[in-house]
Structure 1
Amino acid sequence: MIKNMEMDRERLREVLTLSRIGLPEEKYQEVLDRVNEILRMCDKMQELAGEDVPPFEWDVKKAPARRRDEPVKWDGRDAFLAQAPVRDGDFFRVPRIIALEDEEE
């Protein structure tokens, strides 16, 4: 079990970069304080005794009614694809999200 979790500025910068979230430098401390408060709350929750708590069970009889899963032919594909800003055959062409700016596609 991990205890006393804490995030520092460098780790926050790494997470923001991987998440592609732009954050001004002056907001780092505010976000860091919030994240660390959440991590402290998680630490407190790990201290709770949960051994005697029964697992959650889903009552299938009380579950909401479900519709039948039947295939339906949809004729709107071509009209939908015609709205794509960039198209590659039958697919949308989208920018790569994971690559960093200095990497080539």
Structure 2
Amino acid sequence: MAIEQGEIEKIAELSRIRISDEEIGQVTQRITEILQMVDQLQAVDTHDVEPMANPLDATQRLRPDEVTQSNRRDAFQAIAPAVENGLYLVPKVIE
């Protein structure tokens, strides 16, 4: 898949990237080469290849999901300036 210089200029304008006139040809060539590599990868037959989550068949060690701190909500709300129905009351900041 080839990409035209005009398309690169349009993409650069839309993404607000400044590409000088001297660089536009080189950028177009590099993006064309990248798209050719993508085409090459897409041409590979992967029909019988099983997807994998990790190339090393590694699994993540997980810690047990245990509560390590006690519920101190009442203690924190006792020292709060304003609380109502278990909620902290704060001044309105957006009009």
TM range (shorter): 0.5 to 0.7
Structure 2 spans left out of the alignment, 5+ residues:
66-92
C-alpha displacement of 1:65:
4.4
Identity of aligned residues (%): 29
Aligned CA RMSD, in angstroms, stands at 2.4
After superposition, the C-alpha distances for 1:20-43 in whole angstroms (9 at most, x for unaligned) are 100101100110110000011111
2:21 aligns with one of 20, 25, 29: 25
Deviating runs (4+, > 6 A) in structure 1? none
Task: Name the TM-score, length of structure 1 as normaliser.
Answer: 0.51
Pick the structure with greater CA Rg: 2
Question: Number of residue pairs matched?
Answer: 63
Q: Match of 1:43, as an amino acid?
A: D
Whether 2:55 is the aligned partner of 1:43: answer no
Structure 1 spans left out of the alignment, 5+ residues:
69-88, 91-105
